[in-house]
Amino acid sequence: MIEHENRVLLCRRAIEPRAGYWTIPAGFMELGESPAEGAARESYEEARAKIRTGSLLGVYTVKRISQVQMMYRADIIDPHIEPGPESSEVAFFNWLDIPWKELAFPSVIWALRDYQKVRGCDDFTPFTNPEGWEDI
């Protein structure tokens, strides 16, 4: 979850699944990297965002596709962004301008909502799937 000047970074997906929908920079870890290193790499690959990975925001489970998704808060080092090869567009959004109906995945919605709950807080317990969404 990358924020700059009270706006969050989103990427419009240029690849399937859900091409054309918005997401936060995210992806799969590569061999030999930590989750935080993977988050930084994916942020650069998708939005050319140079970040410093911060605290763990949440760990979300998507059982139907056997995924555990770890979402981090991050500080941006350089506010210059541009689409990487997996994104057709990247932008910082004010909270009220987030295209909620065009978000790619439920876990993106969960992470954004959880992030809003702890904006400005340094001490919190990382979030998990919202109640009722344990089995997606």
Q: How confident is the model over 99-136, as pLDDT tens digits?
A: 999 999 999 999 999 999 999 999 999 999 999 876 65
Any idea of the CA torsion for 36, 37, 41, 46, to the nearest 10 degrees?
A: -10
What residue ranges do the domains of the chain occupy?
Answer: 2-118
Specify the pLDDT at position 133: 77
Task: Decide: 92 and 5 in contact? Cβ < 8 Å.
Answer: yes
Task: Decide: 90 and 11 in contact? Cβ < 8 Å.
Answer: yes
Pick the CATH number of 2-118 from 3.40.50.720, 3.40.1380.10, 3.55.10.10, 3.90.79.10: 3.90.79.10
Question: Which pTM value belongs to this model?
Answer: 0.94
Quote the CA–CA distance of 55 and 53 in Å, as a whole number. Answer: 7
Structure-token pair, residue 128: 């998990």
Specify the pLDDT at position 136: 55
Give the model confidence (pLDDT) of 37-82 as tens digits: 999 999 999 999 999 999 999 999 999 999 999 999 999 999 999 9
Query: Which helix or strand (DSSP H or E) is residue 92 part of?
Result: strand 87-94
